[in-house]
Chain A
Amino acid sequence: MPAYSQTDKEAILAGIDRLGLYRNDESKFVVLRQNHGRLLKRPTLGLPEVVAEGRSAWIGWLELKTETVNEVATQMTAKVIQDVNADILAVIEAEDRIALRHFNEQLLAPINAAYHGIMLVDGNDDRGIDVGLLTRPGYAIESIVSHVDDVQEGNRIFSRDCPEFSVGSSDRANLLILVNHFKSKGYGSQAGSDARRKAQAQRVREIHDLRKSQGVEAIAVVGDLNDTPDSASLAPLISEGSDLQDIFAHPQFQSDGRPGTYGNGTKAGKIDYLLLSPKLFEGVTAAGTWRKGVWGGKKGTLFPHYDEMTKSVHAASDHAVVSADIAL
């Protein structure tokens, strides 16, 4: 690796100055990481100088600093969460715990909708879209089991993960929540996608059955399962002797007339679930969907949405929220 010439060093210092890093490794927009060795020396008195002899003399890089997006769509996401007002909220397609924490502090807190417990374990998706759990005081996450490394025939089963969150409180039995985001239909062959979703459903069923055999009664399998209730992919969870029951089938479920949860809410778009064990299902006092953050139809006129949403890009999500009130 060639050494830095005097010209190189002058160019580095000029760039450092333009990035606002002349006096500090962190500026408004950029962070200079110097992990092994040093690129720069900043004497107390005098100007910074490049001390690395060449590229191989140090390990480091420049990083763009990130911050929470505060656009209409993100504000609508916060508004949906505020209006649903869940004690325990499973979130699908969030990038990481820090981003969720910033979202909580910067968008939920100002509208009095903040959560206390925020947890997300990195999953298998290279895009960084993972599943997490937000909880209010009184619903502490007491333990987490990740299934990110579960394999079948040498391949990781879950597209993201199927974390088990054990949520406890002092006055009720622990609740076990398995949060999922199954393989979508959008990438790869249909047969391949269907097979992978079925493998994911089978593994979730195994986890469910194991916990049930260990005496856990309050189990909820939740999330975006990317298929309909009558699909072969989801049969291990919804039929085939499963005692999990879909919240849409509960007598207290109040339908808004749309059977689906995705897009326009058609039957083919019923892909978001709360699947409850008998103990939880028996305790349901109310349930429904919240669709005001979704843009329905081409003109957004298919069903009511928030006034602030004046075009489709303002939508909080293409997914409605599914919720249930459960008395334990």
Chain B
Amino acid sequence: MDLSGIWVWISDLKHRDLGTFISHYLVLTGFYWLLPETCLLSRLQRANRGRNWYLYHYTYKLEANGMRIASFNVENLFSRASAMNLASWSEGKEILAE
């Protein structure tokens, strides 16, 4: 188990805006430095520890100031006549014959 990150006990919270909650919690507990704009929530683990109390484990991956570049020969013509792109030949046949 990865023990890095932050373990927090949380009472029955409203999960609908979890991102905001995490931000507020980290600011209040002095971990605001973990919240650069580029931080990503990479994993969330939750374990129930009794009624209405939950243990949350947050781990963060700092996004490198980088990028991925790639080259791909798609060898593909992405478009074709709609009349030739049908499940059955009969519908398009009349159009093409015309």
Contact = CB atoms under 8 A, between A and B. Distances in A.
Is this pair of chains taken from one and the same complex?
A: yes
24 contacts: A18-B98, A64-B83, A64-B95, A66-B81, A67-B79, A69-B79, A69-B80, A69-B85, A73-B76, A77-B74, A84-B68, A88-B67, A91-B72, A94-B74, A94-B76, A99-B79, A102-B78, A220-B69, A322-B72, A323-B70, A323-B71, A325-B68, A326-B69, A327-B64
A11 B61 CA distance: 69
A84 B92 CA distance: 36
Contact of B72 (A19, A28, A80, A283): A80
A94 B66 CA distance: 27
Given A29-B81, A64-B81, A95-B78, A15 B98 contact: yes
Contacts of A89: 69-72
Interface in A60-104: 64-70, 73-74, 77, 80-81, 84-95, 98-100, 102-103
Interface of B: 64-85, 92, 94-96, 98
B76 A285 contact: no
Interface string A219-256: 01011100000000000000000000000000000000
Contacts of A318: 73, 75
Chain A CB count within 10 A is highest, among B67, B74, B77, for B74
A283 B69 CA distance: 12
A65 B74 CA distance: 23
A66 B70 contact: no
A290 B77 CA distance: 21
Contact of B66 (A28, A223, A273, A325): A325
Given A30-B95, A172-B65, A328-B65, A86 B70 contact: yes
B85 to A, nearest CB: 6
Interface residues of A, number: 66
B74 A316 contact: yes
B82 A88 contact: no
B78 A74 contact: yes
A197 B20 CA distance: 56
B67 A139 contact: yes
Contacts of B74: 77, 91-94, 316-317
Contacts of A141: none
Contact of B78 (A18, A80, A94, A327): A94
A54 to B, nearest CB: 21
A94 B94 CA distance: 29
Nearest to B38: A171
B76 A325 contact: no
Contacts of B66: 283, 285, 325-328
Chain A CB count within 10 A is highest, among B69, B84, B92, B98, for B69
Given A99-B77, A318-B75, 9 more contacts: A65-B82, A66-B82, A85-B68, A86-B68, A99-B78, A175-B69, A177-B69, A181-B73, A322-B70
